């Protein structure tokens, strides 16, 4: 059990914790008193994160990890198997974004986005689910995006990878209904991060990473499947999902412009 009276977890693993939402989540959980295993490909970012957490009631343990390498993930899992065990809460947040229009469409660029956002998440899901199902316990959240609801300009690769993650989580949630393993999907709107800084259009309802982390924590403490925010923007995008294509293309074509 957690030593923090306000939260049900003692430990959490956050992937992609070197920057953006992942960094904000790691800081928030450390402030709340959790042991935070913060993984990222970039060691220097993790060192800065660990220094920032000094003085918090929780602890940040940096882990240099490339989620596209299953061997590295298995080594990490083995270390937990031989020690403290898998963290009670796992947030698979790591991802990338590479916006490009149709005239710059590239199979190679798509593959890189899919390798990190989709296959990288799957690489982590595999051993995590096995261990949670074996112990019949644990909470798992996957970072997708509202960009996975419908196609958006310059987001063919990113949106497709996030749509696949949403579909993946929906299917797994059904399969896990008779277990004590909780699976949730996180669908943020626009959050100011190094990834969204690549967008060349005005992003509506833009939030800061700290705001996003606080919204995610509220969602993690609920029993709902989807953690989506900000609410008004999400409702608008969900309404667009039922629009006929001709209405949708006309509206988005006028609204989202570089």
| Residue 252 pLDDT | 87
Tokens of 117: 């956002």
| Residue 3 pLDDT | 45
Question: Cβ-count burial of 73 within 10 angstroms (0-12 exposed, 13-18 middle, 19+ buried)?
Answer: buried
Stretches in the chain below the pLDDT threshold 50: 1-3, 258
- With residue 239 as reference, give the H or E element that holds it: helix 231-240
- Give the CATH fold of the 11-255 domain: Rossmann fold (3.40.50)
First to last CA, the chain: 49
| Residue 2 pLDDT | 40
| Residue 224 pLDDT | 96
Domain boundaries along the sequence of the chain: 11-255
pLDDT in tens, 85-95: 999 999 999 99
pLDDT in tens, 3-62: 455 899 999 999 999 999 999 999 999 999 999 999 999 999 999 999 988 899 999 999
- With residue 184 as reference, give the H or E element that holds it: strand 182-188
Contact 6, 32 (CB under 8 A): yes
Whole-model pTM: value is 0.92
| Residue 5 pLDDT | 54
Tokens of 73: 């993930």
| Nearest Cα to Cα of residue 76 among 51, 40, 119, 113 | 40
| Residue 60 pLDDT | 97
The dihedrals phi and psi of 236, each to the nearest 5 degrees, come to: -65, -45
| Residue 83 pLDDT | 95
The dihedrals phi and psi of 207, each to the nearest 5 degrees, come to: -115, 160
Dist CA 27 CA 18 (whole Å): 11
User: Exposure string (b/e) for 206-238, b if CB count within 10 Å is 16 or more?
Assistant: ebebebbbbbbeebbeeeeebbbbbeebbeebe
């Amino acid at each position: 059990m957690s030593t923090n009276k306000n939260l049900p977890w003692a430990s959490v693993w956050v992937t992609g914790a070197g920057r953006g939402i992942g960094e904000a989540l790691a800081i928030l959980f450390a402030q709340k008193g959790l042991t935070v295993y913060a993984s990222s490909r970039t060691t220097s970012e993790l060192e800065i994160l660990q220094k920032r957490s000094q003085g918090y009631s929780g602890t940040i343990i940096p882990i240099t990890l490339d989620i596209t390498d299953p061997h590295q993930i298995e080594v990490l899992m083995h270390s937990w198997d031989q020690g403290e065990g898998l963290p009670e809460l796992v947030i698979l947040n790591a991802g990338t974004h590479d916006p490009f229009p149709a005239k710059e469409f590239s199979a190679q660029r798509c593959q890189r986005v899919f390798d990190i956002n989709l296959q990288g998440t799957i690489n982590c899901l595999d051993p995590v689910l096995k261990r949670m199902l074996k112990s019949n316990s644990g909470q798992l959240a996957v970072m997708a995006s509202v960009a996975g609801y419908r196609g958006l300009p310059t987001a063919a690769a990113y949106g497709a990878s996030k749509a696949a993650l949403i579909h993946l989580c929906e299917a797994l949630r059904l399969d896990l209904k008779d277990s004590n393993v909780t699976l949730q999907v996180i669908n943020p709107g626009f959050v100011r991060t190094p990834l969204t800084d690549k967008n060349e259009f005005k992003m509506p309802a833009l939030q800061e990473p700290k705001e996003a982390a606080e919204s995610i924590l509220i969602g993690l403490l609920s029993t709902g499947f989807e953690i989506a925010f900000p609410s008004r923007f999400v409702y608008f995008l969900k309404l667009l999902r039922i629009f006929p294509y001709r209405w949708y293309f006309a509206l988005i074509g006028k609204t989202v412009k570089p």
